[in-house]
Amino acid sequence: MSTHKALIIDDDAELCKLLQNCLSAAGIYTDVAHSASKGLSLFQNDYYNVAILDVMLPDINGFSLLEEMRKNSNIPILMLTAKGDETDKVKGLQLGADDYLTKPFGIREFLARIDSLIRRNTILNTQSTDADKSKLTLPNISINAADRTVYVEGEFVKLTAKEFDLLYFLAVNKGRIFTKSQLYNQVWHDEYAFDDNNIMSFISKLRKKIENPFNGLQFIETVRGVGYRFNPHG
């Protein structure tokens, strides 16, 4: 991960220094901001492979900043919070966060999650550019792994990095049924942090973006008591 760059936005200077040192030891260069305004300025004027965002910031809250960041970018975002409230966790995921850690957390777990987010995003960004392999063109949806774009009935649909990863994995394995745990292992590439609500939140958010109740499209089917599968016909 020697060529990667992370942005940390957190008002806890001591924690930022610790995370910065740990990421540096892992070969990841970091920029640090202690306010939302500074973080957004850095974010808009540089390129990052991953962002680490605290919910509690001195100027605006992390959720508002997350929404602003998601307007123009789908890079992986890991949210940090001192709260253990399940509502906060779900809200962050629904607004576009890719993963979530509640303070205090272990450095090994933090680094593992950052590695997973960067690795998965990098793998899908460097998919073969051969059109037959990188682009899935189905009756009502087109998914291009080369530029990570999705079009439903000809209309562009903006997805976060993890939403794209989840959709792409299901689509390339169309028709196969996957349990929530299997999806987590395949898309997030780990087992230790499996969270039922995490998967359900991502599936729900993804469905709202790619499925239209007025035309009856249903790309992601729920197989009751088992899991999910992709329906190539929508």
pLDDT in tens, 135-163: 888 888 999 888 889 999 888 999 988 89
Location of structure tokens 């059109």: 131
pLDDT of residue 59: 92
The pLDDT confidence band at residue 200, using thresholds 50, 70 and 90, is confident
Q: In order of start, what are the domains of the chain with their CATH numbers? A: 5-125 (3.40.50.2300), 131-230 (1.10.10.10)
In whole angstroms, give the CA distance from residue 101 to residue 211: 29
Alpha-carbon Rg for the chain, nearest whole angstrom, is 18
Within a 13 Å sphere around the CA of 140, how many CA atoms are in the beta-carbon half? 14
Q: Could you tell me which residue, 95 or 7, shows the higher pLDDT?
A: 7
pLDDT of residue 130: 41
Location of structure tokens 């996957």: 178
DSSP annotation string for 133-173: HHEEE-SSEEEETTTTEEEETTEEE---HHHHHHHHHHHHT
Q: What angle do CA 192, 4, 173 make, to 5 degrees?
A: 50
Q: Which helix (H) or strand (E) holds 114?
A: helix 107-125
pLDDT of residue 172: 87
Q: What angle do CA 150, 93, 108 make, to 5 degrees?
A: 110
**Residue pLDDT, tens place only, 71-121:** 878 889 999 987 666 777 788 888 888 888 988 899 999 999 999 888 877
In whole angstroms, give the CA distance from residue 25 to residue 192: 23
In whole angstroms, give the CA distance from residue 112 to residue 94: 22
Within a 13 Å sphere around the CA of 77, how many CA atoms are in the beta-carbon half? 27
Cβ neighbour number for residue 224 with a 10 Å cutoff: 6
| Exposure letters 123-160 (e unless 16+ CB within 10 A, then b) | ebeebeeeeeebbbeeebbbbbbbebebebeeeebebb
Q: Could you tell me which residue, 168 or 185, shows the higher pLDDT?
A: 168
